[in-house]
Homo-oligomer: A and B are copies of this chain.
Amino acid sequence: MESETAVKALSALAQEHRLASFRMLVQAGETGMPAGAVAEALGIPNSSLSFHLAHLTHSGLVLQRRQGRSLIYTADYEAMNALVGYLMENCCGEAGCAPPAACAAEAPDERTPEERKRA
């Protein structure tokens, strides 16, 4: 992972609302959440949240897909694992620590067949 990529990802997470959004998406699994639901859950204006979700998406930590009128956001677990791996790389020098965590989501996909085609 490039240093610049990591800085972008960390910058994306270094903000109250974006961190809360990201954690919410991480816990939501592959199913994800529509923008409106996140905005409501966090109690912030849609336009503000949109700004933050775009930031997270551009950073590569979050993925977007359309489902009808809604845009569904999901956490990108690969990107998250890569970021954590980069942070802990060669941890403790020669000592060698536990390998970095890896989250591999496999939550049920509740999309309709029609929706699956678009993704």
Seen from chain A, the residues whose Cβ lies within 8 Å of a Cβ on chain B are 3-4, 6-7, 10-11, 13-16, 19-20, 22-23, 26-31, 77, 80, 84, 86-95, 97-107
B3 adjacent to A10 (CB under 8 Å): no
B101 adjacent to A106 (CB under 8 Å): no
A103 adjacent to B97 (CB under 8 Å): yes
Contacts of A27 in B (CB 8 A): 89-93
How many identical subunits does the complex contain?
A: 2
Cα separation A39 to B92 with both chains bound (whole Å)? 20
A19 touches which one: B6, B20, B92 (CB < 8 A)?
B6
B93 adjacent to A29 (CB under 8 Å): yes
A89 touching B10 in the complex, CB below 8 Å, given contacts A98-B104, A103-B98: no
A49 to chain B, nearest CB (A): 16
A98 adjacent to B92 (CB under 8 Å): no
